[in-house]
Amino acid sequence: MTGAPEKRSRSAASSLAPAPGDHALTVERLSKRFGDRAAFEDVSFEVGYGEVFGFLGPNGAGKTTTVRTLGTLIAPSSGTATVAGIQLTADNGPSIRARISIMPESPGLYLRLTVMENLQCFAGLYELDDVRGRIERALRSVNLLDRAGDPCGSLSKGLRQRVALARALLNDPAVLFLDEPTSGLDPVATREVHDLIGSLRECGVTIFLTTHRLEEAERLCDRVAILSTTLRLIGRPDELRQRLFRRSLDVRVRAPLEDLKVVLGALPEVEGWEQTASGYTLNVSDPDLAAPALARALVAAGADILSIAESRHSLEDVYLELLDEDVEAKRP
Amino acid sequence: MSFSRRRVAAITVKELRDYRHNRFVIGTMAFLPLLFIILPIVQLLIAPAVAASPELTDRVGLSLLYMLVIPAVVPSTLAAYSVVGEREQGTLEPVLITPIRPEEFLVGKALAVAAPTITIAYAMFGIFLAAAKLFASPVVSSAVFAGSHVLVQLLFTPLLAGWSIWVGIAISARSSDIRAAQQLSILASLPPLAIIALMQFKVITPSTGLALALAVALLIVDTLGWRAVAAIFDRERLITGTRG
Ligand SMILES: Nc1ncnc2c1ncn2[C@@H]1O[C@H](COP(=O)(O)OP(=O)(O)OP(=O)(O)O)[C@@H](O)[C@H]1O
Ligand SMILES: [Mg+2]
């Protein structure tokens, strides 16, 4: 699995510090209702410092509402949370907001002001010292130093997104919330934002990333949660795949086997099989044990093996599988 | 965390910088005062040059009243824009995500409206006085400068502006449509002006005491308005109402 070892080592490092005080976010049974409709309900999770946490879900799942609730913009209907070590209450709003930042779904820049003027305003709102230095660092980290004097209205969508990211970095947030940072961007601009998030991650910034792009979550996040009003699943992307799908091997052979039942039935690792267009898919308890045994048995039976490989399930498969269940569950 | 002047200044400076490039604001600040200064000057110029007639007093009173329309109406259109305008641009959410308090946000907005509009109102009054001195007949001109006219005018200009600003911002914070907010704000800017008009036309017997009472009432609104508006400033409604 590509990229997995690196992710594992990071997760291992962050799980070394399980003390509750060390969590960037702890959320317990949090709900928000608008009238009698729940935007999200009974959501609980924890995010460690330095972790990149993906918050996945379809349109209307409650992602933005969750971010706004944790960012003290709206009050939860029930449940508790701590954000950057501070209890989520109305009175703590200003101190929580001083320690976090949110990049909202739309950049919300003052289009008639220059990039520099926009950032100066926010440096003032955060009461930062060394305004010039901070703005310069933030602009450098999003590669926009040379556009500081341009009016924001003259920038492309991708560049505006980067200014919004620079704005969110100004106060060195303990937790950075990114609400669909790549929505509406072309592949090149998306790649740029991904690279930026990657480098923030290297610097140990805690990131809460909402998205409905699965490859984005898979690529960038240590752990993901899948939300659809309620929290459906939470874990490392590879864990989720394993939890949701039985492990299996895809076998391709040149010609169908005549005594298939005999050959496969003799292998204790194989729990079941079905025929596919080009061969078989076998349910196995452990692919690492089953694959060599299977290869030997097939060769002995005279089959021409084209390939034996573990079936790959992407996070997208996990997601669709889950939400499919949702849709089915909602049917009368 | 206490009230931060720095955050207030950040809002005010941002706002003033934005005005420079905002056609709507430039238009409002240039066009409305010009509109409202033409009538009073015309009144002066056509006033009868007969010494100390009641008609002359009425004419002068009317033109001075017109001059007070500027500090009442110009700030109210800008104040009405202040919150709902940002909401419509989508720039309110990023601001409310910072540690800013409603009071700081509102005072910053109010100062940004007050500074240019009071300056403009005084400038227009200066132009009016100059026109009276230079072009009106000596009788009319001395009627303008007689008694406490000028002083009252100088005093009521910022007082009326303050009323219009707070009422306008309050309306802006609660409405979801810029144009409706502006129409309502202009209407709401008129009551204090109406009281002055009633005194001017002797419907209410004018007296120094009454004028002072009105001034004190306006002063209280102007200095405490931010608290009242902060109390009706609903962060959640402002954020979640912006959907769409
Ligand atoms: N102000 C509001 N009033 C009523 N319902 C609301 C309000 N804001 C959000 N909702 C509802 O709450 C649910 C969650 O909305 P939210 O915007 O959090 O979803 P989301 O996951 O961010 O979706 P998207 O992917 O489209 O951004 C939706 O059903 C939405 O209609
Ligand atoms: Mg959303």
The residue in chain A having the minimum alpha-carbon distance to the alpha carbon of residue B88 is A108
Q: Which residue has the tokens 């200044």?
A: B9
CB B113 within 8 A of CB B75: yes
Q: What is the CATH number of the domain that holds A45?
A: 3.40.50.300
**Optimal mutation site among B25, B93, B98, interface A, most CBs of chain A within 10 A:** B98
Q: Is the same domain home to A165 and A266?
A: no
Phi, psi angle pair for A245, to nearest 5°? -120, 140
Q: What is the pLDDT of residue A3?
A: 36
Residue from A301, A314, A305, A302 nearest A280 by CA:
A305
Say yes or no: A125 and A265 in one domain.
no
Q: A212 CB less than 6 Å from ligand 1?
A: yes
Does residue A193 sit in the same domain as residue A306?
no
Residue A315, in any domain of the structure: no
Are A176 and A117 in a shared domain? yes
Tell whether A232 and A253 lie within a shared domain: no
Q: What is the pLDDT of residues A23-54, one digit of tens each?
A: 999 999 999 999 889 999 999 999 999 999 99
Identify which of A151, A55, A49, A59 has the alpha carbon closest to the alpha carbon of residue A110. Answer: A151
- For chain B, the average pLDDT equals 89
Count of Cβ atoms closer than 10 Å to residue B79 Cβ: 29
**Residue A320 has what pLDDT?**
76
| Residue in B95, B135, B39 with CA at minimum distance from that of residue A108 | B95
Enter the ipTM: 0.90
Q: How far is ligand 2, taken at its centre, from the CA of residue B93, in Å?
A: 13
Q: Do A179 and A223 have their domain in common?
A: yes
What's the CA gap between A10 and A248, in Å, rounded?
28
Q: Which of residues 74-93 of B touch A (CB under 8 A)?
A: 89-93
User: Is the Cβ atom of A57 under 6 angstroms away from ligand 1?
Assistant: yes
- Residues A42, A176, single domain; the answer is yes
CB atoms within 10 A of CB A187: 8
DSSP B131-150: HHHHHS-HHHHHHHHSTTHH
Query: Cα–Cα–Cα angle for A319, A324, A327, nearest 5°?
Result: 130
Decide if pLDDT at A143 tops 60: yes
Report how far residue B18's alpha carbon sits from residue B113's, in angstroms, rounded to the nearest whole number. 12
The total domain count for chain A is 2
Strands A248-253 and A230-235: unpaired
User: pLDDT grade, residue A58 (50/70/90)?
Assistant: confident
Candidate of A64, A178, A180, A229 to mutate for ligand 1, largest count of ligand atoms within 8 Å of Cβ: A64
Domain CATH code at residue A267: 3.30.70
Q: Which of A249-263, B116-130, B199-213 has the lowest mean pLDDT?
A: B199-213
Q: By the 8 A CB rule, do A170 and A129 touch?
A: no
Q: What percent of chain A has pLDDT over 70?
A: 89
For residue B6, give how far its alpha carbon lies from the nearest alpha carbon of chain A (Å).
6
pLDDT at B200 exceeding the cut of 90:
no
Same domain, A44 and A26: yes
pLDDT at position A97: 95
Find the closest chain B residue to A165 by CA distance. B94
- Shared domain for A59 and A184, answered yes or no, is yes
Give the position of tokens 């009144």: B43
Instruction: Say whether both A295 and A229 belong to one domain.
Output: no
For residue A318, tell me if it sits in a domain: no
Same domain, A202 and A257: no
Q: Which ligand is nearest to the CA of A43?
A: 1
Is residue A119 included in any domain, yes or no?
Answer: yes
Full 3-state SS string of chain A: CCCHHHHHHHHHHHCCCCCHHHEEEEEEEEEEEECCEEEEEEEEEEEECCCEEEEECCCCCCHHHHHHHHCCCCCCCEEEEEECCEECCCCCHHHHHHHEEEECCCCCCCCCCEHHHHHHHHHHHCCCCCHHHHHHHHHHHCCCHHHCCCEHHHCCHHHHHHHHHHHHHCCCCCEEEEECCCCCCCHHHHHHHHHHHHHHHHCCCEEEEEECCHHHHHHHCCEEEEEECEEEEEECHHHHHHHHCCCEEEEEECCCCCCHHHHHHCCCCEEEEEECCCEEEEEECCHHHHHHHHHHHHHHCCCCEEEEEECCCCHHHHHHHHHHHHHHHHCC
Helix/strand/coil for B26: helix
Mutate to test the interface with B, among A121, A152, A161 (most CBs of B within 10 A): A121
Same domain for A26 and A104? yes
Q: Give the range of the structural domain holding residue A251, as residue numbers without chain letter.
A: 246-310
pLDDT score recorded for residue B52: 67
CA-nearest of A174, A175, A152, A154 to A164 is A152
- Write out pLDDT tens, residues A293-310: 989 998 988 888 999 988
| Interior/surface letters A258-294, b for 16+ CB within 10 angstroms, e for the rest | eebeebbeebebbeebeeeeebbebbbeebeebbeeb
Contact B92 A74 (CB under 8 A): no
Q: Which ligand is nearest to the CA of A57?
A: 1
pLDDT score of B39: 84
